Amino acid sequence: MKKIIGLLLLVTLSSFAFAQNFIVQGKVIDEEGNPIVGANVYIKNSSLGAVTNINGEYTIENIGKGIQEFEASYIGFETVAKSLDIQRNTVLDFQLSSGVLLEGLIVTAQKREQSIKEIPTALTSISNNFIEKTGNSEIDQLASYIPGLEFQVQSPNNPGFVVRGITSDDDSANNEPRVSIFQDGVSISKSRGSVVEIFDMQRVEVLKGPQGTLFGRGAQIGALHLIQNKPKNYYDAGLRIGFGDYKYNHVEIFGNAPIVKDKLFPRISGIYKKREGFIENLSGGKLNGKDTKAV
């Protein structure tokens, strides 16, 4: 009799435990309603999670009763968190907005505005928001965030761009570089003119691999396109000031104003950076200082 009671008690407890586990399923979409494939949906502080399928759908099983914190994430999108009181099997959908790490979702890599998802080549696009948040104002600093790109400052007038391990540091006047540099569609590929300060920038696009069809014979290895902010038909202005060691001073400023509404609206911007050198020169003074003015 005791064995029967014990068995019934065990079955009851098992049924009760099973009844506390629920299923949450749903869909992860972008701002346009398209399914996001490969997004991660998980419960915080647990090992439970799932990856969305080709339709953007996910299913998480064996979820305990009570309040649970769910998060959905995908590269290039902002992570979304939702709190849900689990009392039954539930449907929970997520809509993710474009974030700042993938950036530049509209690019001009093929000489026209397109979504970055439509570009059939290896492309990295970094926007002004990302540049400001990371505090970068030089191309060699920005290269640290772009896979496959390295920038070698061999001298102030002879930079070297390295894409996927292949360099462009041939500074001969009669040779085309193997990595083409463009600023607002204008080629500045010769090493004597391709050092550019990164300020008031709309975005920076880096295309890896041969790009000769659109960017000419100098783009055997890749191309880098620097796109400045364009004038806007409204009043806008901004100022950034920074200080650092070795008497480092950094000032950026821009102004935007419509002179003739809908017809003439100029924009002007500038940068000033100065820093003392930090390497003792045996001949006197210090090396690796900086004194830059650009407008």
Q: What is the pLDDT of residues 8-58, one digit of tens each?
A: 555 454 444 444 689 999 999 988 888 998 889 999 888 899 999 999 999
- Summarised one tens digit per residue, pLDDT across range 212-239 is 666 666 666 778 888 898 888 888 899 9
CB burial string 185-199: b at 16+ within 10 A, e below: eebbbebeebbbbbb
CATH no. for 106-228: 2.170.130.10
DSSP H or E stretch at residue 13: helix 2-19
Q: 27 with 57: CB under 8 angstroms?
A: yes
What is the fold, at CATH topology level, of the domain defined by 2-95? Immunoglobulin-like (2.60.40)
Taking CA atoms, 66 is separated from 50, 62, 69, 224, 276, in Å, by 19, 12, 10, 52, 60
Which residue in the block uniquely carries the two structure tokens 């100065």? 274
pLDDT for 213: 62
pLDDT for 114: 63
Which residues does residue 150 pair with via DSSP β-bridges, in sequence order?
Answer: 162
- Mean pLDDT score of the chain, rounded to an integer? 79
Greater model confidence, 133 or 192: 133
pLDDT higher than threshold 80 for residue 270: yes
Domain ranges of the chain: 2-95, 106-228, 236-294
Q: Name which of 271, 139, 159 is nearest 206 in CA terms.
A: 139
Q: 136 with 199: CB under 8 angstroms?
A: no
pLDDT higher than threshold 90 for residue 197: no
Q: Which two tokens stand for residue 218?
A: 């100098």
- Summarised one tens digit per residue, pLDDT across range 61-108 is 999 888 999 999 887 678 899 999 999 999 999 998 865 444 445 566
Query: Other CB atoms closer than 10 Å to residue 17's CB: what's the count?
Result: 10
Mean pLDDT of 194-222: 74
